[in-house]
Amino acid sequence: MTIAGIDGCKGGWLCIEELSDRLRAFIAGNIRDTVNRLPPGTLIGIDIPIGLPNDDSRHCDIEARRLLGARGVCVFPAPLRVTLENTTDASLCEVAKQTQRRHHARGRGISQQAWRILPKIREVDDLLRADVKRAEQILEVHPEVCFAQWNGGTPISSNKKGAPGKAARAALIDDIWPMQRERLLDELKQTDRGRFEVDDLYDAFAALWTMRRHRAGRARTLPAAPERDAANLPMQIIT
């Protein structure tokens, strides 16, 4: 089974596909085009909330924050479904916050992080609600949780944007895929310079590594018994 890891980026979506003998990376403008460029049935890990709650935090987000400890701040709460469905891409962040607060069980507004990627959450939600069975193939991951598992169960303490954090993540990647990280980075810089950041590539690698674990039956699901949202999508994080 072909596997892939996907992370959002400036240019749309950065995807790394593991073929039988090599890795391939590309950037596509929207999620439908990204998925369509992969072989049918590809097992995909993607860094985006899948399955949205009605009125409170998802248990998978709570467990992910607990697993990361001090780094749990990297896991932001997924927006409520009503916020997604009643806020257009052009709406002001304050509108989304007000919508969220009115329906949230504890009156919490949408986070800045969730607001910034709301259009991408909508893209993936539209794709999966059109064919819910695709949620068996396209699975939510969180890169920081992936890297923590990859790092022997210890979260990486350094921020992914800084040099120490990049070095720590690069070392894990290079141990599994020697020389592939630099090759893909060079190729993307030639074709898509300005459309992605280095940490987008590293996060896609984290998703790919977790799909390797999932394919081999070694991955965990947070929570162990996932809930489903109003659209019948699973609210879970694979790690």
Q: What is the largest CA-CA distance in the chain?
A: 52
- Residue 113 and residue 74 in contact, taking contact as beta carbons nearer than 8 Å: no
- Give the SS3 label for residue 24: strand
List per-residue pLDDT tens for the chain, 239 residues long: 899 999 999 999 999 999 887 899 999 999 999 999 999 999 999 999 999 999 889 999 999 999 999 999 999 989 999 888 877 765 667 777 777 788 787 777 787 888 889 999 999 999 999 999 999 999 999 999 999 999 999 999 999 999 999 999 999 999 999 999 999 999 999 999 999 999 999 999 999 999 999 999 999 999 999 999 999 999 999 99
**What CATH code is assigned to 1-51+58-75+124-239?**
3.30.420
- Give CA angle at 91 (87, 97), nearest 5°: 65
Distance CA 17, CA 2 (A): 7
- The full set of domain ranges for the chain reads 1-51+58-75+124-239
**pTM score, two decimals?**
0.94
